[in-house]
Chain A
Amino acid sequence: MSAHTEQRLEESGPSRGRVVDTAQYGLAAFLLVVGVVVLVDAAGLEKGFADQPVQPYAFGFVIGSVLVALAALLAVATWRGDVAEAEDGEDIDLTQGSDWATVAKLGVVFVIVVLTISWLGWAIVGAFLFAGTARVLGSRTLILDVAIGTALSLLTWYGFYVGLGIPIPAGVLDGVL
């Protein structure tokens, strides 16, 4: 808590200039788009049954309009110098800049997982997911990473199959596992 306030004071203390968090306009735009999509979707709904006291579009109109209003409020607040209080945590170091490259690499690993899971199955893809993300996050022991990943994915596959009775599709390894 105290760390936050100190940081705040530093930000607004000496410089005194208005800090505009430009990225926050992006969030406002996103809210606007979501709001408009909700509104358009609600407008496209047909009138429901006569005995339906709350028409299906009613909530859509309310939620969509409020989202558009919130987008406007956020844009104004941003313009007036409102800065987001980014979330803190044990492993989070907010004093350095954001490392979006790591996030992008994690995204790539995740997209590969989504694209291949139906074909390769959890046992292989899960191991790849663990080893891949561990490496992106800074682990440099490739063989150990793969070993741990394989162990985890096999254990969870058998654990779900035998222990919980949830048959996760085996994918390409069908018949092997």
Chain B
Amino acid sequence: MDLLLEGFATALTPTNLLFAVIGVLLGTAVGVLPGIGPAMTVALLLPVTYSVEPSSALIMFAGIYYGGMYGGSTTSILLNTPGESSSVVTALEGNKMAKKGRAAQALATAAIGSFVAGTIGTVLLVILAPNIADLVVKLGAPSYFAIMLLALFAVTAVLGTSKLRGFIALFLGLSIGLIGTTTGQARLTFGEAKLADGIDIVVVAVAIFAIGEALWVAAHLRRKPLDIIPVGQPWMSRSDWGRSWKPWLRGTAFGFPFGALPAGGAEVPTFLSYITERRLTKHPEEFGNGAIEGVAGPEAANNASAAGTLVPLLAIGLPTTATAAVILVAIQSYGLQPGPQFLDSNPELVWGLLASLFIANTLLLVINLPLAPVWAKLLQIPRPYLYAGILFFASLGAFSVNFDAFDLALLGVLGLLGLAMRRFGLPVLPLIIGVILGPRVENQLAEALAISQGDVSTLWSEPVAVVVYVVMALLLVGTIVAGRRAGAAAPGPEKKEEVSA
């Protein structure tokens, strides 16, 4: 508790408060803006880590994360074309509400629900992260190795509709992670001295998220303008409150645990929350025509899962979503390594970050309720400027790493890879996680085997490692069974892996 109070002292300094406000505003703006999400934004802002204090930068990134999760709902409700996969479910009822003239109520229940869920989620995070870190700190290299394998496997095999494409993305990422001389010998550098340190993860992240997306949109730019439903000041009546508060709490209960799991993400809990609300509602006739419960629950689940993803990120150093992965990159660029020792060795930083999450949440509510009409206007920004701006800042970000045209060329090449990934439906997350975790998996394996002097049985010598391998085996069996079942349901030569949700 004292630590948290000290955290508030860190977070409430004028500078850090300013960064929190910037983060929340930026995060919401990019959540609203089409084609650009929180992961891309943090990636584009990575250059600030070269000179801004770690605590300020992390506070800003936390604001962007929470703000981005919230901003996505505005687009879903007003446009019916969700930009982030986590707000797909919100669009189902939210857009129907907007079409019935209840956009203000839909936005209000999303905003207040996000606040409630984010606050509860952050409380859970504050309680859980240090305890988990205390457990994790006792683990040896074999357990770490197993946990990282599980994270790679889970992100690849459990999320997404096509396992094959997930693994393709993962192994492309692992190949990129091989580049460099970390093992003492130059791997995949092709004699190029500039590749000796590997490809800077900033360049990879910016290329895959920003350039790939901008090029993909350029190839498919919508020529006719979208229908935007105008909106006034968000507000809710008494009955709206009465119908919203339970879905908020249930959504939080779904969202947080899923966020904290290695392959949870926000898609599954938002969907579960939607189904639950549809089953429990007293107004079943409204579902499909704009039921407020269908917005309140999923939006709460969405934000609670964002808080949940910070548990493995801070306590183990494992990223489970794209945004968490890029935030991890930011922390690493300060020479810090999140994980069990991270909380003990950088208490000021971590507790400042946790405190700033409460602040970011409150700011979101205070700023966003009155600003909703302004955010809606952002949707009208001319698309050439929007995407030219993304390309501009992406190039600036990559160039500022070393002031080297070589990095820009790499950015272009990897950007084309990002474009191809979108064309062929390859998920982005496994690739990024592969680039980040690949070298660390190799490290842990080397460390484990060095301690055991080459005895391979050390890998299953710790109970936690054994449990993790069992979980992996169960996941593997589960995915195979699910695949079989889907195959049996849709026989024929062109069975596709359509196990979406």
A residues apposed to B, CB below 8 Å: 1, 4, 8, 12, 18-19, 23-24, 27, 30-31, 34, 37-38, 41-42, 45-46, 48-49, 51-54, 56, 59-60, 63-64, 66-67, 70, 73-74, 77, 80-94, 96, 98-100, 102-103, 106-107, 110-111, 113-115, 117-118, 122, 126, 129-131, 133-139, 145, 148-149, 152-153, 156, 160, 164-166, 168-169
Contacts and interface: CB of A to CB of B under 8 A. Distances in A.
Interface SS majority for chain B: helix
B218 A103 contact: yes
Interface in B419-466: 419-420, 422-425, 438, 442, 445-446, 449-450, 453-454
Contacts of B50: 164, 166
Interface string B172-202: 1011001000011101100000000000000
A21 B161 CA distance: 18
Interface string B208-219: 000001111111
A53 B446 contact: yes
Contacts of A48: 183-185
B22 interface: no
A153 B385 CA distance: 14
Given A53-B450, A70-B164, A126-B395, A114 B405 contact: yes
A89 B83 contact: yes
20 contacts: A18-B493, A53-B445, A60-B178, A63-B171, A63-B178, A80-B494, A86-B425, A92-B220, A98-B220, A99-B219, A100-B219, A103-B219, A114-B409, A126-B396, A130-B389, A133-B388, A134-B385, A137-B221, A139-B388, A153-B392
A66 B171 contact: yes
Contacts of A110: 391, 395, 408, 412
A89 B34 contact: yes
A148 B388 CA distance: 11
Contact of A137 (B162, B171, B188, B387): B387
Interface in B209-235: 213-223, 226
Given A27-B168, A52-B446, 17 more contacts: A24-B424, A34-B172, A59-B178, A67-B175, A81-B493, A82-B494, A83-B496, A87-B425, A89-B83, A91-B35, A110-B391, A130-B388, A130-B391, A131-B388, A139-B382, A153-B392, A166-B51
